[in-house]
Structure 1
């Protein structure tokens, strides 16, 4: 695990600052009274999304010359994207349902992707005032009010209850099949947005199986945090959900920006 001094001398600290600036823009809108049930051009949700996007893109362009792929500017042709070796992957506001419900579980996400792999990521939950920072090969931390605490994924010890991150709503048959393959009792840990991956990264859960649609910007930053904390993020085959030889989840390797199903595990 890298020292705090190492973290303070990295690009990651600048990215954390940028994420917090974007979070300030989101919170200025989030703290107003609003009633919104879908993502419309005039909605507070869209306003917050675009405000955060603009802060992040302007700051990243000042920080480096790397290209940027953001949910709010995703219409970059594959012919162009496939030439990228390194780029920024951004979701300015992940967790739209959480934003609308005002439960606080939404995030700002900024990742550095190199050769198809996330190597550095910042996940900031502005309503919770908590950040996750991961530098693959160096370490991962939570940050609250300037205090950094090292985190690491925690393996199941064979006797404890399996803590599995999942939806608050009904679990699919595929998830039930996965749970049935685990030896022992299971407990559902509910969480919104990219924070689900972070729960495994900080040892609060053992597994996060995702058998629903996500885009690459939904996962890139938290994926980096998970890897930096010692977790694995692999492609999930519903027919063989606990495959020890599953491939690692990668980025920008195809025209579609949709992820396959995946499993975050310690």
Structure 2
């Protein structure tokens, strides 16, 4: 697993460097078939990640956002596979906010068992493997510094939530009211999982469509930090969802990311 995480870190940091080059110069924005935005930063970052994963782990299929959008979808079978979102939070990136991320995760038996979330504009990254989660800084020279373990905090009497900046919903507001949550921070991208994992927040409810590459890396970090991700009715949240009757391959259902193992009912 060490070689895997080292590859994740190398790939994510190299991709983040390419993203920041575009960020500083100003991106050219196009629309995909689903009308979501894409920039040359997404494409450059994905190419870097795919090249390194293919060199180091050629036997493991990679499901990557821009490749899927272009119709290149590997058969994952029943073995392990990678999920890659080269630039999660493209809207934040376009609007020059700093909470966009690079996401890479390994899925085994439907669960994210290792991952990295790197926020290049913030100079911070999170990793997970072997049931342990870490946070570290990435310097201006793209070196790793100050790696520290992170864990979810014990749930306080009054919970703090994180929610999507771009995709809030009436269902989210109803969930917060039902659970007596009065403090809610809006953050873009998969950083929401990471804030729960490091104990800054306690719950991340998501009522709205996401794809598996959006969530897998952050989910891996939250689980490794002692948290849990479930469907809204408390069932396990799984990956590798293909041939779905109600949605496209790799599309997620609504979910709740919990920071504490205590009282994780979403009722």
Same fold (TM over 0.5): yes
Paired residues of 1:45 and 1:100 also in contact (CA < 8 A): no
Report the counterpart of residue 4 of structure 2 in structure 1. Answer: 11
Instruction: Provide closer, same or farther for how the CA distance between residues 29 and 230 of structure 1 changes in structure 2, counting only shifts above 3 A.
Output: same
Q: Tell me, which stretches of 5 or more residues in structure 2 are unaligned? A: 139-144, 244-248, 260-267
Report the counterpart of residue 170 of structure 2 in structure 1. Answer: 173
Paired residues of 1:198 and 1:225 also in contact (CA < 8 A): yes
1:208 to 189, 199, 204: 204
Between 1:120-129 and 1:162-171, the stretch displaced more is 162-171
1:260 to 240, 253, 265: 253
Give the 3-state SS of the residue equivalent to 1:251 in structure 2: coil
TM-score scaled by length of structure 2: 0.84
Instruction: Provide closer, same or farther for how the CA distance between residues 40 and 254 of structure 1 changes in structure 2, counting only shifts above 3 A.
Output: closer
* Separation in structure 1 between the aligned mates of residue 117 and residue 51 of structure 2, nearest angstrom: 18
- 4+ runs of 1 displaced by more than 4 Å? none
TM-score scaled by length of structure 1: 0.84
Paired residues of 1:85 and 1:116 also in contact (CA < 8 A): no
Report the counterpart of residue 234 of structure 1 in structure 2. Answer: 230
Q: Count residues in correspondence.
A: 242
Paired residues of 1:109 and 1:121 also in contact (CA < 8 A): yes
* Separation in structure 1 between the aligned mates of residue 167 and residue 135 of structure 2, nearest angstrom: 30
What's the RMSD between the two structures over aligned residues?
2.2
Paired residues of 1:40 and 1:46 also in contact (CA < 8 A): no
Paired residues of 1:21 and 1:55 also in contact (CA < 8 A): yes
Return the offset for 1:54: 0.5
Q: Tell me, which stretches of 5 or more residues in structure 1 are unaligned? A: 1-6, 238-245
* Separation in structure 1 between the aligned mates of residue 166 and residue 52 of structure 2, nearest angstrom: 37
2:236 to 244, 248, 265: 248
Return the offset for 1:135: 1.2
Write the mapping of 1:43-62 to structure 2, written as runs, cut at 5 A: 45-62=38-55
Report the counterpart of residue 32 of structure 1 in structure 2. Answer: 25
Give the 3-state SS of the residue equivalent to 2:31 in structure 1: coil
